[in-house]
């Protein structure tokens, strides 16, 4: 939402101008579906129970191995102009194996798992110098912390990133292509395909112990067709990488991704994870503004009164050559009780609101703009309507009413009722007739 704009009273004869201009540049906020920046205190405390970020359903849950916790690490990681804040997530020490995971909200899950859509995620990542097995997963389950025991082979030295039950997921890992050994530090593609054991495809990029921005592009194909995972090491935030530039990919597995509701990490050492983002475009997860998106202004905030029609006055600016040629509009209200749009799918409809018992009551109207046939989320902006019981109270709220000594009853009208009230006290004498003690 834009910052609050100056308020005004909008009369019923408001003039509406649909301004869709063509400019050389345009800007719009990134549309992040899920974000975790680890803005938590105190540092060096267990991550368990922390519940910040956006797009999640519930707090972080982690395991402890040999007394080594997943903790809030300070400082956090940074990269180029990527927006960063807060701290990071890592393990204290390197003994044993441990996991940390968090569930997504239903709204986030639905947004990120539709067939015939593309989703992206990004993670700032720093690998340890040895015992390189760390893994990051978007899927149906957390990681198991007892992979070797679960196999029943008694091999306590194996460190595979297993899941506790058969599941599905896409991600990345430092584990080698055999799914069990130290991969030597390369960023490798990770998948679980109705299995508890991982499918690992080795990549060629080795970041050493330097901070890297790992970005994934997932193409969810129609049901029955192989889905696609592409991993990138981003060195330039200015442009979206081509699929051919991926450091590694998996394109031969078919998923039922509708149940992907978990973000999970697993490690035998102390790799660092930070700035986790999920969205629908490269710009969403890197904080880069998509220059093709239009700018949307829902209009100025309004002060009015209950039942008075208000004609909305938005403004949309499109960029030349952006391909945004067949715009769609959708207005919504929160709260929606008592709100009636003349046409919620029109550019500038009239809205009539019967106010609640609160005085004033405030209703937020959101305009969502998209291009016909576009599957990514719309560009949105919001404005507010502040409602009073009547036009007199609204006039007083906006500060446009001057005090008029002839309006004795304070109803914003000077009429015979005021004259009658004045007549009752006509020629009354209020002077003192003698001293009065203080």
pLDDT averaged over every residue in the chain? 83
d(CA 345, CA 268) in angstroms, rounded, equals 53
Kindly list the structural domains of the chain, giving each domain's residue range(s) and its CATH number in brackets, ordered by start. 19-26+292-394 (2.60.40.10), 32-286 (2.60.120.200)
pLDDT reported for residue 93: 73
Averaged pLDDT, 415-433: 68
pTM of the model: 0.63
pLDDT reported for residue 421: 64
pLDDT in tens, 308-341: 999 999 999 998 888 899 999 999 999 999 999 9
Pairing of strands 98-103, 61-62: antiparallel
pLDDT in tens, 13-48: 333 333 333 332 233 345 789 999 999 999 999 999
pLDDT in tens, 151-169: 333 333 345 687 888 899 9
- Mean pLDDT lowest among 106-110, 124-128, 332-336, 420-424: 420-424
CB 189 within 8 A of CB 235: no
């Amino acid at each position: 939402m834009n910052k609050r704009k100056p308020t005004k009273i909008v009369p019923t004869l408001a003039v509406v101008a649909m301004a869709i201009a063509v400019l050389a540049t345009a800007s719009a906020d990134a549309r992040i579906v899920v974000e975790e920046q680890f803005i938590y205190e105190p540092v060096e405390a267990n991550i368990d129970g922390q519940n910040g970020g956006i797009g999640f359903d519930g707090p972080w849950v982690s395991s402890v191995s040999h007394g080594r916790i997943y903790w809030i690490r300070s400082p956090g990681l940074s990269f180029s102009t990527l927006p960063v804040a807060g701290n990071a997530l890592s393990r204290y020490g390197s003994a044993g194996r441990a996991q940390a995971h968090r569930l997504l909200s239903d709204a986030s899950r639905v947004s990120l798992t539709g067939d015939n859509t593309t989703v992206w995620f990004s993670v700032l990542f720093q690998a340890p110098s040895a015992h390189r097995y760390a893994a990051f997963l978007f899927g149906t389950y957390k990681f198991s912390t007892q992979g070797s025991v679960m196999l029943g082979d008694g091999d306590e030295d194996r460190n595979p990133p297993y899941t506790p039950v058969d599941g599905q997921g896409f991600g990345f890992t430092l584990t080698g292509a055999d799914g069990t050994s130290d991969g030597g530090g390369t960023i490798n593609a990770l998948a679980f395909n109705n299995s508890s054991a991982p499918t690992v495809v080795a990549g060629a990029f080795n970041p050493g112990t330097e901070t890297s921005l790992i970005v994934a592009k997932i193409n969810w194909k129609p049901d029955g067709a192989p889905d696609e995972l592409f991993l990138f090491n981003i060195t330039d935030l200015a442009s979206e990488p081509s699929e051919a530039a991926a450091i590694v990919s998996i394109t031969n597995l078919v998923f039922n991704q509708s149940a992907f509701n978990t973000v999970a990490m697993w490690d035998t050492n102390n790799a660092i994870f930070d700035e986790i983002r999920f969205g629908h475009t490269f710009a969403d997860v890197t904080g880069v503004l998509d220059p093709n998106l239009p700018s949307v202004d829902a209009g100025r905030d309004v002060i009015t009164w209950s039942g008075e029609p208000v004609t909305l006055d938005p403004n949309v600016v499109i960029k030349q050559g952006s391909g945004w040629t067949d715009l769609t509009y959708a207005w919504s209200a929160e709260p929606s009780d008592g709100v009636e749009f003349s046409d919620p799918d029109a550019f500038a409809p009239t809205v009539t609101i019967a106010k609640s018992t609160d005085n004033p009551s405030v209703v937020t109207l959101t305009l969502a703009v998209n291009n016909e046939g576009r599957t990514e989320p719309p560009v949105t902006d919001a404005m507010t309507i502040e409602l009073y019981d009547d036009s007199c109270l609204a006039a007083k709220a906006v500060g446009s009413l001057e005090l008029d000594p002839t309006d004795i009853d304070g109803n914003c009208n000077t009429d015979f009722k005021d004259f009658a009230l004045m007549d009752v006290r006509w020629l009354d004498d209020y002077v003192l007739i003698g001293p009065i003690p203080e």
